[in-house]
Amino acid sequence: MLTSLKQEKFMLLALIAAIAAYVLEHQLLHSGQMIALFGGMVLIGFIVMASMRVAHHAEVLAEKVGDPYGTMILTLAAVLVEVVILAIMMSNEASPTLVRDTIYSAVMLDINGILGLAALMGGIKHGEQSYNDDSARTYSVMILTAMGVSMVVPEFIPEADWKIYSAFTIGAMVVLYTLFLRMQVGPHSYFFSYSYPEKRRKQLPPGEASPVNLTFSIATLVFGVVVIGALAEVMSKTLDLGLEGTGAPPVITAILVAAISAAPEILTALRAALANRMQSVVNIALGASLSTVILTVPVMEAMALYTGQPFQMAMTPVQTVMVFITLIVCAINLNDGETNAIEGMTHFVLFATFIMLSLLGL
């Protein structure tokens, strides 16, 4: 038990930071803008520490249960964090574009950032990396459909009819995810897996072998998500105050929310790519994007219907163009069952373009 606690020192430090943040929240928010900004940046550091442990235990689970179940656990945990943060921020200080910008940022981060960097690094190290192209095609068409229905079509819906279309969107997302989940864990689960040659493991000396405690990994992963959510709640308030009046684009907050929820996935995907296991990267990057759209949208739309407070879901022209370019490039790159460094670079350049456009306030 003591050994396990030592291994979780980052998680324990994050827990202590979360408790301290709640105790000192009043002082952080009433001691000046610079103090609030500094406090927010420190909390981001503790969130990253907790995310490292979440990523580790997600990898343990993924190795134990295999794809697609392991990576599905990671993506669902990330979406849960995102939904909790968004719900808290929308209830505290409503922003009509926060949900839209966060989902858009998450898709750009997952597909162009995570997949791009992982394919680039993995391609440089291993050359061409194989995966099941059925999974890439399934994810891509589902993401395109979900984003089109929930974030493109609303531009043409009259304001008087937003409640009717919101209810329709909720139903459509639930139907899509139900069918997708049945495919992913049911008769079509082979779409999302790939048979890699078994790797010979390094044998540990007889007293050093440590059996994997599946229950402990699951409990720590869930606990880590809760700690990250608690830290993010105070962090969002301090950063809002710290960035107020600085001229920073409003989308910066949405990017931070998306990055927080994706932090465990980033580490896991990069490790998988360097280990020449591109199928895990595809499942994480595209699965996280799909889960973000298909699960976050109905929850937030239901919240809007409950409160009677609509928010802007239709993407801007620039966002729409970036999403369509991303999905077209993704469909072309992921159609042959192999990735390489050039394909990774194309996505990473699109990610850099997304960051530049965000900094320009577009």
CA–CA gap between residue 224 and residue 231 (Å, rounded):
10
- The pLDDT, as a whole number, for residue 95 is 73
Name the residue with higher pLDDT: 348 or 215.
348
| Contact (CB, 8 A) for 100 and 257 | no
Residue where the block lists tokens 């794809």: 67
Most confident of 37-46, 140-149, 303-312: 140-149
Segment of 1-10, 115-124, 188-197, 213-222 carrying the highest mean pLDDT: 115-124
The three-state secondary structure class of 130 is: strand
As a whole number, mean pLDDT of residues 249-258 equals: 81
pLDDT, mean of residues 338-346 = 92
- pLDDT beyond 50 at 208: no
> Domain 10-194+215-360 is classified in which CATH homologous superfamily?
NCX, central ion-binding region (1.20.1420.30)
What is the tens place of the pLDDT at every residue in 16-25? 988 998 888 8
What type of residue is 118? A
In this prediction, residue 11 carries a pLDDT of 86
Partnered with residue 129 across adjacent β-strands are 339
| pLDDT-derived band at 209, boundaries 50, 70, 90 | very low
Q: What is the pLDDT of residue 4?
A: 65
Residue 345 or residue 297, greater confidence: 345
CA distance 112 to 281: 12
**Residue whose token pair is 């952080």:** 28
- Asked if residue 2 has pLDDT above 70, the reply is no
* Highest mean pLDDT, choosing among 114-123, 182-191, 291-300: 114-123
- Quickly count: other Cβ atoms within 10 Å of residue 333's Cβ: 20
Residue 327 pLDDT greater than 80, yes or no: yes
Q: How many residues are listed for the chain in this entry?
A: 362
Range from 123-132, 177-186, 281-290, 339-348 carrying the lowest mean pLDDT: 177-186
Task: Tell me which of 3 and 100 has the higher pLDDT.
Answer: 100
Chain segment 148-198, per-residue pLDDT in tens: 999 999 999 998 888 999 999 999 999 998 888 877 777 767 777 777 665
Mean pLDDT over 263-283 rounds to 84
Look at residue 345 in the predicted model and tell me its pLDDT. Answer: 95
- Average pLDDT of span 274-286: 88
Mean pLDDT over the full length of the chain: 82
Task: List pLDDT tens digits, range 74-114.
Answer: 667 767 777 777 777 766 665 788 888 989 998 999 999 99
Task: Give phi and psi for 249, each to the nearest 5.
Answer: -60, 140
Give domain limits for the chain: 10-194+215-360
Bigger pLDDT: 274 vs 92: 274
Sheet strands (E) in 277-360? 338-339
Nearest to 151 by CA among 173, 135, 136, 128: 173
Beta bridge partners of 130: 338
pLDDT band, residue 3 (cuts 50/70/90): low
What's the rounded Cα separation, in Å, for the pair 93 and 89?
6
Evaluate if residue 130 carries a pLDDT over 70: yes
